[in-house]
Amino acid sequence: MNLEAYFSEHTGVGVLATSDAAGVVDTAIYSKPHVEGIDTIVFIMRDRLTHKNLQENGHASYLFLEDGRGYIGARMFLTKVDESTDQELIASMTRRHLSPEEDKAKGDKFLVRFRVGKVLALIGGEEIALQ
């Protein structure tokens, strides 16, 4: 699977799952990630539960359900690589544009980078190789 091609060619709904240090799981709706290279994806996130969990446990899972009939998509197993608060970089990657006042009211933004360790089909255990 070429991640950049996949996310540019498909629309759908994404769910990012994280857990805290004690293993308490949370899920949140997330848009399609930005792709860097063969095995790295990036999300922009606010300082909420998902971000808090990633401070305690750098492992996450991203499920992407493609639009259309049936259950087609992918499950990605992620490990946090790093994060940035570089607001210029975040602004350059932001897809949803709010007024400066609205954006500030929603809180700080973080750019969080993950290594994709494994990709499985949405249904079943078929592993999909990254390319």
As a CATH number, domain 3-121 is: 2.30.110.10
Please say if the pLDDT value at position 98 is more than 80: no
Query: In terms of residues, how long is the chain?
Result: 131
Each residue's pLDDT tens digit, 24-62:
999 999 999 999 999 999 999 999 999 999 999 999 999
Can you name the residues that pair with 28 across neighbouring β-strands?
16
Against a cut of 0.75, is the pTM above it?
yes
pLDDT of residue 66: 97
Please say if the pLDDT value at position 13 is more than 80: yes
- Give every strand in the sheet of 40-46, ordered side by side: 25-30, 12-19, 59-66, 73-84, 109-121, 40-46, 34-36
Percent of the chain at pLDDT > 70 equals: 100
Confidence of residue 8 (pLDDT cuts 50, 70, 90): very high
